[in-house]
């Protein structure tokens, strides 16, 4: 699942954004989990959907949505800069976003978010899914300095039965992911 970057896998079903972190993941996922039920990519920037849509068009159980998710349904200004696209009042494009709780009606087993600082808002819009389905979560925590403590507080206020792990993937300051594993 993701707002402006990430993916979500639901009971062998999934949601996702085509971003830098996912350029490798889908191919590995398809190789390691060939019997998945559904995989969904979610990205409000049509340019980020074109490549994977073409690359994975032979799969009937992969869906693409030119949409983002947030804490509520609205239209936002969006600044498209490839892998660092983000919500911006000065944005050149308008995008539609909504709560993931409003977009998904089936069981979700895994959510990955790397959505350029909008993770907190997306989690707010995913409360019911997190509460009802207890999915594994992989949430980026490097976009805002207080995400390191706000994201775990937010998740644990929804469900307190997660183990938390932290992993950093680069030598720089980006690509730090907090994992929430159901107990």
Tell me, yes or no, whether 87 lies in a domain.
yes
Q: For strand 162-168 and strand 136-140, is the pairing parallel, antiparallel, or unpaired?
A: unpaired
The dihedral of CA 20, 54, 30, 103: what is its sign? positive
CATH number at residue 29: 3.40.50.150
Indicate the number of domains in the chain.
Answer: 1
pLDDT at position 64 is 80
Q: Which residues pair with 113 in a beta bridge?
A: 6, 139
Q: Which residues pair with 136 in a beta bridge?
A: 110
Tell me, yes or no, whether 1 lies in a domain.
no
pLDDT at position 86 is 65
pLDDT at position 76 is 83
pLDDT at position 158 is 98
Tell me, yes or no, whether 78 lies in a domain.
yes
pLDDT at position 125 is 94
Which portions of the chain are predicted below pLDDT 50?
A: 1-24
| 91 touches 72 (CB < 8 A) | no
pLDDT at position 109 is 83
Quick one: residue 153, left, alpha or beta (phi over 0 = left, psi -120 to 50 = alpha)? alpha
Segment 27-80, tens digit of pLDDT: 666 777 777 777 777 777 777 777 778 777 887 888 887 877 789 998 888 776
Tell me, yes or no, whether 99 lies in a domain.
yes
Structure tokens at 22: 């996912």
Give the domain extent around 102: 6-182
């Amino acid at each position: 699942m993701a707002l402006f970057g990430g993916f979500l896998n639901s009971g062998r079903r999934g949601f996702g954004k085509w971003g830098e972190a996912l350029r490798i993941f889908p191919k590995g996922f398809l190789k390691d989990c060939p019997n998945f039920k559904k995989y969904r990519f979610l990205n409000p920037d049509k340019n980020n959907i074109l490549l994977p849509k073409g690359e994975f068009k032979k799969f009937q159980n992969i869906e693409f949505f030119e949409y983002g998710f947030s804490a509520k349904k609205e239209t936002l200004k969006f600044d498209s800069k490839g892998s660092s696209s983000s919500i911006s009042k000065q944005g050149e494009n308008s995008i539609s976003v909504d709560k993931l709780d409003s977009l998904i009606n089936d069981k979700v087993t895994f959510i990955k978010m790397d959505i350029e600082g909008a993770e907190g808002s997306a989690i707010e819009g995913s409360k019911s899914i997190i509460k009802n389905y207890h999915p594994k979560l992989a949430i980026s925590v490097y976009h805002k300095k207080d995400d390191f403590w706000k994201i775990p507080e937010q998740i644990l206020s929804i469900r307190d039965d997660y183990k938390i792990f932290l992993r950093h993937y680069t030598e720089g300051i980006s690509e730090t992911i907090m994992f929430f594993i159901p107990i």
